[in-house]
Amino acid sequence: AWSGIDVQLKRRHDLVPNLVATAQGYARHEAQLFEAVSRARSDALRARSPHDLGRAEAILQSAIGQVFALKESYPDLRSDRLFLDLQDQLADTEDKVQAARRIYNGNVRDYKNRLQTFPTVLVARSFGFQDREYFEIEAPDERAAPR
């Protein structure tokens, strides 16, 4: 189940540089934003645990949203076919990430339940089976009041 998430996140990570390169052609003075997206992508690629990866992916998702928002300020970008295609691909990938996350978290829930039931708990303890983390992508400012 984790490999399903990994495949979709890799696809997203592969699309991000293309999105940035396309948007840079229209919005050259947005260098800070493009640098932040690149940094967020690098952090997401380095994250290993589900918790760290979820946090890094939330930041990357927010940065990608800011790139999408550029099309409001740049009418030429709004009509660029490549940009719109990349936006559609990223939206599709996002849906697939959410589906893979639901499958993974369902498997983790079942695994945790099995680790706590008799007689599985005895076998799990003797063989050193470890608990697993859920994979959550939650924006860091999601619950904060808007400024």
What per-residue confidence (pLDDT) applies to 78? 83
> How many other CB atoms are there within 10 angstroms of residue 45's CB atom?
13
Would you give per-residue pLDDT tens digits along the chain (147 residues)?
A: 999 999 999 999 999 999 999 998 888 788 899 999 999 999 999 998 999 999 999 999 999 999 999 988 888 888 899 999 999 999 999 999 999 999 999 999 999 999 989 888 888 888 989 889 999 987 655 444 444
What per-residue confidence (pLDDT) applies to 139? 62
What per-residue confidence (pLDDT) applies to 29? 80
What per-residue confidence (pLDDT) applies to 140? 56
Please return the burial class of 49, using the count of CB atoms within 10 Å of its CB with bins 0-12, 13-18 and 19+.
exposed
Kindly state the tokens that stand for 45. 């690629």
> Cα dist. 14→68, 80, 90, 118, 136 in Å?
17, 20, 10, 44, 21
